[in-house]
Amino acid sequence: MQNPFEPKILAFLCNWCSYAGADLAGVSRLQYPPNIRVVRVMCSGTVSPHHVIHAFQRGADGVLVAGCHIGDCHYLKGNYMTLKRMKFVQELIRFAGYNPERFRLEWISSAEGVKFAEVVRDFTEKVRSLGPAPSFEASPRLAMGL
């Protein structure tokens, strides 16, 4: 029998807010699905569209980027860049034909452990309902319309 689909979700969390929020969720023993793998970054503004594309390239079914709320970034305006880039990359993947709901941007502060757990729960369910992400792997067969 086939195993039920378990989505793989990669999360980029900024060190100062969202990672601390995730930590708080852990310390508070809040339940959230284990489908998420975390990459800690110093600021969400360091996440390039390349990282998002690379995550999908390597088989992620969903990608979450989370940082401090606008105005709270520890590098002042790092998350302005995050907002610009992520809004763009989401539209780009939509135009390429990938479901933009596989990507999510959230602002989660270090006090928002509850929000972190909720986001992860909600996003995991969303991605689960979408099924496995279409592969970025090349296939010459596709070029022939097979």
Partner 1 sequence: MKTKVRQLLEEGRVDAFLAYKTIHGVPFPTLFTKENVDELEEWAPFKARYPVTKILLAQARQNPGKTFGVLVRGCEERSLYELFKWNQLSPDKVVVLGQACTEDLALYCECKKPFPDQLDYGEAPAPVPRSRRLEELEAMPETDRLQWWLSHFNRCIRCHGCRDVCPVCFCTECSLEHKELIPARKLPPDSSFHLVRAVHMAGRCIDCGLCEETCPAGIPLRALYKRVNDLVENIFDYQTGVPDGKSPFSMLGDESFLPAGPR
- 44 is a contact residue toward ligand FES (CB under 6 A): yes
CA distances 62 to 21, 49, 75, 88, Å, are 20, 14, 27, 17
Residues 78-117 that bind ligand FES (CB under 6 A): 78-79
Q: What six digits make up the tokens of 14?
A: 């900024």
Cβ-proximal residues to 127 (8 Å cutoff; 6+ apart), any chain: 7, 9, 35, 61, 62, 101, 102
Q: Which of 5, 77, 125, 129 touches partner 1 by CB under 8 A?
A: 77
Length of the chain: 146
Q: Which stretch binds partner 1 (CB under 8 A): 18-26, 76-84, 112-120, 124-132?
A: 76-84
When binding is defined by CB under 8 A, the residue of 91, 111, 125, 131 that contacts partner 1 is 91
| Contact criterion met (CB below 8 Å) for 85 and 124 | no
Residues of span 4-43 touching ligand FES by CB under 6 A: 14, 16-17, 43
Q: Which does 37 bind (CB under 5 to 8 A by kind): partner 1, ligand FES, none?
A: none
Residue 4 is a binding residue for partner 1 (CB under 8 A):
no
Nearer to partner 1, 7 or 45 (CB): 45
Region near ligand FES per CB under 6 A, out of 29-37, 47-55, 67-75, 84-92: 67-75
> How close are the terminal C-alpha atoms of the chain, in Å?
27
What phi, psi does 91 have (nearest 5°)? Answer: -70, -35
Our finding on whether 76 is near partner 1 (CB under 8 A) is: yes
